[in-house]
Amino acid sequence: MKSKLQKAAAQGGRRQVAALPYRLDANGKVEVLVLSSRETRRAVIPKGWPMRNVKDWKAAQIEARQEAGAVGSVSRKKFGEYEYWKRLEQIFLLVKVAVYPMKVTRQLADWPERHERSQQWLPARDAALLVEELDLSSLIVDFAERLEHGKKEPSPGSGKHKRSSKLRKTNAEKRDLQTS
């Protein structure tokens, strides 16, 4: 019998929701909270499957609390989307992730996945270099640029987020590191 995820894979993939936890440093520069994934230890942002009878932005907020102990206000509009390949036991599943910015106001001393993940606050550009997904890298840099240049609330993304020209060099550097 096929699992729900295997059925979803056969139908062309699934979707998830994510929080982009951020804060501003003393100079007004954006810092992003980056976590390790539980199994592969890759750099990620808090994300999870949509929850029944829960709005996507709220589900993203819940994931940030469970995975990172991050508490704060979440935008009710997504900033953008990215795709990644989720590793399952027998297959890879293409997942589209809607990203909701979350201004972190405090971090809990204890939370459900505290002992399963490491985390670190990084300048946005450094966080963008650590994550594997190029579209997520673009989202992080574009979000930081908008916020740092005086836009109070970033405008929601429409479809896939377009990469900024400033990020082309970053992505090229990332590809060079992966091939060396």
Interacting residues of 114 by C-beta distance below 8 A, sequence separation 6+: 69
* Residue 121, pLDDT score: 97
d(CA 27, CA 38) in angstroms, rounded, equals 33
Q: Which residues pair with 85 in a beta bridge?
A: 94
User: What pTM did the predictor assign?
Assistant: 0.78
- pLDDT tens, position by position, 49-65: 999 999 999 999 999 99
pLDDT score for 114: 86
- Residues 153, 67: contact at Cβ < 8 Å? no
Write out pLDDT tens, residues 142-168.
Answer: 999 999 987 665 444 433 444 444 454
> Which of the two residues, 173 and 161, has the higher pLDDT score?
173
Maximum pairwise Cα distance, the chain? 55
In this prediction, residue 72 carries a pLDDT of 96
Residue 137: CATH number of its domain: 3.90.79.10
Q: In angstroms, rounded to a whole number, what is the distance separating the alpha carbons of residues 143 and 102? A: 11
Answer positive or negative: Cα dihedral of 82, 83, 84, 88: positive
At CA 11, angle to CA 47 and CA 101, rounded to 5? 20
For the stretch 91-149, pLDDT in tens is 888 999 999 999 999 999 998 898 889 999 999 999 999 999 999 999 999 999 999 98
Residue 174 vs residue 83, higher pLDDT: 83
Q: Among 43-47, 107-111, 171-175, which is the least confidently predicted range?
A: 171-175
pLDDT given at position 13 = 54
pLDDT band of residue 172 (cuts 50, 70, 90) is: low
Domain that holds residue 97: 4-179
Alpha carbon separation from 105 to 45, 71, 149 (Å, rounded): 17, 6, 21
> Would the pLDDT of 7 be above 80?
no
Q: Is the predicted pLDDT of residue 8 greater than 90, yes or no?
A: no
What's the pLDDT score for residue 162? 47
Number of domains in the chain: 1
